Chains A and B, each alone.
Chain A
Amino acid sequence: MQRRIEVADPMPTRPIERSSVPVAVEGLTKVYGTVRAVDGISFVLAPGTITALLGGNGAGKTTTISMLMGLVLPTSGVARIFGADMARERHTVLHRMNFESPYVDVPMRLTVRQNLEVFGRLYGVRDLRDVIPAVAERMRLTELLDRPYGKLSAGQKTRVSLAKALINEPEVLLLDEPTASLDPDTADWIRGEIEAYRDARRATVVLASHNMGEVERLADRVIMMEKGRIIADDTPEGLIRSFGRANLEEVFLAIARRTGDVNAKP
């Protein structure tokens, strides 16, 4: 029987069973030479939520996501996924998470089916003969299954990348601009799929995006970063309210241009 855990919405306010917490970051810092790419950030993410990491270029979003995956080691602090320190114990939980980015390709010469088979095996997925057609259908890739990935359009590649990210039904899903390069209709459909997946799987989704409309629609929580630090952390509605703006895009611009109340804290 599963344990029940108490968390506040959207952020936990009391200690949680460590191994039940999908994502917990404590004092995470990454220094490259003299540059503090990430500077002592802390947050905890609850199951079944979508959290957007926002910030301009160089704010530290990619480095944070990389440390969540264990691809980059923190200078200090710790990133935990289901209690596992991603610097040292990541192989105990990597099968429970996945990642999608239009900026990281899968092998070009392999067909979509071959790519999904390879990643399915890497993640230890059972019954791939059934799973691959099902995931492909979900991502509207059935007709493209036997086409080489390198011959697909940018939007089709993004859908393949998402299919790869969902092949192991991850509980923690890291998305780096998942709708970049998609036409508005496909982007809207993908957002719906992300929401549906979050609800069906109760997945914890971390979303890095520059599309504020997308963030407003999808995110339960927004963490704004600047120069490696968290400068705001709230629900989209809370941020819009506390900054006295009409939408999240205006909040983002206000912070970026320092015309808003930059000291606003959650």
Chain B
Amino acid sequence: MTIEPSAPSARLYPQATPGASARRIWGLVLRYWYVMRSSWPRTAELVYWPLVQMLTWGFLQNYLNNTTSVAGRAAGLFIGAVLLWDILVRSQLGFAVAFLEEVWSRNLGHLMMSPLRPFELVAALVIVSFTKLSIAMVPVTIMAYWFFGYNLLGLGIAFAVFFANLVFTSWAIALVSTGVVLRWGLGAESFAWLIVFALLPLCCVYYPVATLPVWLQAVALALPPTYVFEGLRAIVLNGVLDVKLMVEAFLLNILYFAGGYATFAYYLQSARVNGTLVQMGE
């Protein structure tokens, strides 16, 4: 019998082009956007915790301002620190929860057998994380100014540097946590939720690095967010942005992000070896 070979559908765009990659990334971003749009409680939840945190620390700051001048000066750091901390947390959760949506909805199998490449999945999650972070932090930042007269954007260029460093760290952490879920399934889901909070005591959000025991200071200085919070204190207390510290943080972040992506790719491959990718999709 003679059979003609088949050919790819004329319905399809060329696949191996940057445009095709952008279309796939946009397709996945749309998927999360539609989910967000379909549920106002989800959107409200994005703002809820940062708002509660900001109000709590803002009122504490007001209280300390009215007691002692030294504590009050230090307390001025709290609201800035809590807003920056929330950037780290919300960005990491924005990435990880978007990924978990795929596992919860049993859609991972469809995604993984579509032409979507792993780096495109990561790019889409980064965009979604950034979008969710903006939805969460813009109103909270405005309200911090409205309630307490604290202007986070008043940090100027330092805020942009802090922000960039924090989101890169958050994405690196999220890559590791989603990789762990890929490999071990929903049994490891809590890891994705909780891992970022391990940084709270270590990266010295509310106190200087010198407060830690000497051996733990080395650990703290290996974490890029530590440089951000030290930098915030330097600006508020001394009015100086230590550029060297920020460059060090940025270099560390490059290492962390590369390590995070390598971990994600390793666990994805491991899930293909162990068959867990299929189990999660079914």
Q: Spell out A's residues near B (CB within 8 Å).
A: 2-9, 17, 20, 22, 30, 32, 46-48, 62-63, 66, 69-73, 91-92, 94-99, 101, 103-111, 114, 117-127, 131, 148, 164, 168-171, 201-204
Contact = CB atoms under 8 A, between A and B. Distances in A.
Contact of A124 (B1, B15, B112, B282): B15
B12 A2 contact: no
25 contacts: A5-B2, A5-B3, A6-B3, A20-B5, A47-B3, A72-B272, A73-B272, A91-B115, A92-B16, A96-B9, A99-B109, A101-B109, A104-B281, A106-B105, A106-B107, A106-B110, A107-B31, A107-B105, A117-B27, A121-B23, A121-B30, A124-B15, A124-B24, A127-B11, A131-B11
A8 B30 CA distance: 46
Interface residues of B, number: 49
Contacts of A32: 274-275
A114 B3 contact: no
Instruction: Give the interface centre of B2, B7, B31, B281 by most chain A CB atoms within 10 Å.
Output: B31
Interface string B1-35: 11111111101111110001001101110110011
B4 A2 contact: yes
A4 B27 contact: no
Nearest to A68: B113
Contacts of B5: 2-5, 17, 20, 47
Given A107-B107, A168-B11, 9 more contacts: A6-B2, A71-B112, A95-B115, A99-B109, A108-B105, A109-B38, A110-B35, A114-B31, A119-B110
Given A94-B115, A99-B113, A110-B31, A71 B20 contact: no
A122 B281 contact: no
A94 B20 CA distance: 13
B259 to A, nearest CB: 23
A71 B4 contact: no
Contacts of B35: 107, 109-110
A97 B24 CA distance: 16
Given A63-B275, A107-B101, A122-B111, A171 B6 contact: yes
B116 interface: yes
A104 B282 CA distance: 5
Given A6-B2, A47-B6, A124-B115, A110 B34 contact: yes
B273 interface: yes
Nearest to B113: A69
A179 to B, nearest CB: 18
Contacts of B15: 95, 124
B24 A121 contact: yes
A62 B281 CA distance: 12
A171 B8 contact: yes
Residue in B24, B105, B112, B269 whose Cβ sees the most chain A Cβ within 10 Å: B105
